[in-house]
Chains A and B, each alone.
Chain A
């Protein structure tokens, strides 16, 4: 076992991990932060997306020790300081951007990465950016609508829910 230290949602954390411990496992089992979901565990589905030093990555395909010293942001860090939902989270709720909710943590983290790079994306850009996040419930339509709404754009003309 090796000691690993990193910053998660602004707080310094550390734990003992094996070489093979994935970042997703360290977050969930080491730190008890189960908001980051593991869907496919093969880097296809995107449910495990977190930000490492500001970049969206699939935490099931990065070793915890490779993230040593990094600043990690997870879905638990997306709410406002008073505990209310953040802008993207609230937009997902308002526009029914989820059904079962399993993919939602990854969808929100990928959407946040998109909006950081491109604050006013087009519908096509949203769909393209979310290619690595799979949702089996919604058909994506309301997810895309939620992301556009979170960017402050008018979504009244986007097709019906």
Chain B
């Protein structure tokens, strides 16, 4: 790995200033960025650790939903969100392994937007709001394709606010070596309708399965999606599964998520 200057600010304002340096890169839990740097696929000249910023940590239920600080590790979300939003807590508790969950953060996962990561499915499936140091971004505008987001240069995710649905569940078909989602589906039933977000399956990253949403909005049962067919055209094909296999998983996992929703 190439060398860099390491800085660890204690406030968002200091972090924004540090990120204005040429070649600066934000570091959260580092569970993806560190291996990426070891492979020299990333070589920042300044690394700005965001894990020392107290105002970016914690889980808190407010009027507009459940707010989670961007630098909150998965293990903390798994424990502290459980009584407010069990489907989200269960998703956080199924990422990677215990040591990864003690370091990896929700903000880091969203900023990276890995096409097989779990959190993007929860954020898009809940219609959550991504809060940055500059603005609030609706989930529907935030995810813009594989590893691509609405974030601008030097913009930091400071937190995420989740509206809490009546019922929800996330079901992941594990890639057993990496424990990323071979395909994962997040289903959330709100008063106004149902949202279905799919990760791990598409070449365009996380997406909403609109046909599934319409069917489930009029009849929230696994049977409602049984007659639908998911198009395999944009699905990922690799040694773990063909596009057709992933398209099939979308439907199967949606049904399982509906059955599991509580």
The judgment on whether A and B are partners is yes
Chain A contact residues, CB within 8 Å of chain B: 2, 18-20, 22, 41-44, 46, 49, 55-58, 61-63, 65-66, 68, 110, 113-114, 129, 131-133
A-B pairs with the 4 shortest C-beta distances? A132-B97, A19-B6, A55-B102, A65-B6
Q: Point out the residue from B2, B4, B35, B51 that lies within 8 Å of A61, measured CB to CB.
A: B35
Q: B153 at interface (Cβ–Cβ under 8 A)?
A: no
Q: How far is the CB of A81 from chain B (nearest CB, A)?
A: 27
Contact between chains at B47 and A19 (CB < 8 Å) = yes
Contact between chains at B103 and A62 (CB < 8 Å) = yes
Contact between chains at A43 and B35 (CB < 8 Å) = yes
Residues of A within 8 A of B177 (CB): 44
Size class of B's contact patch? 20 to 34
Residues of B within 8 A of A129 (CB): 98
State A46–B37 Cα separation when bound (angstroms).
Answer: 19
Residues of B within 8 A of A22 (CB): 34
A–B Cβ pairs within 8 angstroms, 25 of them: A2-B6, A19-B4, A19-B6, A19-B47, A20-B37, A41-B38, A43-B34, A46-B99, A55-B75, A55-B102, A56-B102, A58-B99, A61-B31, A62-B30, A62-B103, A63-B6, A63-B30, A63-B34, A63-B47, A65-B6, A65-B8, A66-B51, A110-B99, A114-B98, A129-B98
Q: How far is the CB of B112 from chain A (nearest CB, A)?
A: 14
Residues of A within 8 A of B100 (CB): 43, 58, 132
Q: How far is the CB of B180 from chain A (nearest CB, A)?
A: 12
Contact between chains at B8 and A20 (CB < 8 Å) = no
Contact between chains at B103 and A61 (CB < 8 Å) = yes
User: B5, B8, B99 — which one has the most chain A CB atoms within 10 A of its CB?
Assistant: B99
Q: How far is the CB of B230 from chain A (nearest CB, A)?
A: 30
State A62–B103 Cα separation when bound (angstroms).
Answer: 9
Q: How far is the CB of B147 from chain A (nearest CB, A)?
A: 19
Q: B3 at interface (Cβ–Cβ under 8 A)?
A: yes
Q: How far is the CB of B256 from chain A (nearest CB, A)?
A: 20
Q: Which residue of chain B lies nearest to A49 when distances are taken between CB atoms in the complex?
A: B99
**Residues of chain B in range 1-55 having any CB-CB distance to chain A below 8 Å:** 1-6, 8, 27, 30-31, 34-35, 37-38, 47, 49, 51
Q: Which residue of chain A lies nearest to B102 when distances are taken between CB atoms in the complex?
A: A55
State A131–B98 Cα separation when bound (angstroms).
Answer: 8
Chain B contact residues, CB within 8 Å of chain A: 1-6, 8, 27, 30-31, 34-35, 37-38, 47, 49, 51, 75, 96-100, 102-103, 177, 179
Residues of A within 8 A of B34 (CB): 22, 43, 61-63
Residues of B within 8 A of A66 (CB): 6, 8, 27, 30, 49, 51
Residues of B within 8 A of A65 (CB): 6, 8, 49
Q: How far is the CB of A24 from chain B (nearest CB, A)?
A: 11
Q: Which residue of chain B lies nearest to A50 when distances are taken between CB atoms in the complex?
A: B99
State A104–B79 Cα separation when bound (angstroms).
Answer: 28
User: A43, A62, A68 — which one has the most chain B CB atoms within 10 A of its CB?
Assistant: A43
Contact between chains at B98 and A110 (CB < 8 Å) = yes
Contact between chains at A46 and B97 (CB < 8 Å) = yes
Q: Which residue of chain B lies nearest to A132 when distances are taken between CB atoms in the complex?
A: B97
Residues of A within 8 A of B4 (CB): 19-20
Q: How far is the CB of A67 from chain B (nearest CB, A)?
A: 10
State A22–B103 Cα separation when bound (angstroms).
Answer: 14
Residues of B within 8 A of A46 (CB): 97, 99
Residues of B within 8 A of A43 (CB): 31, 34-35, 99-100
Residues of A within 8 A of B31 (CB): 43, 61
Q: Which residue of chain A lies nearest to B1 when distances are taken between CB atoms in the complex?
A: A20
State A43–B99 Cα separation when bound (angstroms).
Answer: 9
Contact between chains at A19 and B3 (CB < 8 Å) = yes
State A73–B47 Cα separation when bound (angstroms).
Answer: 25
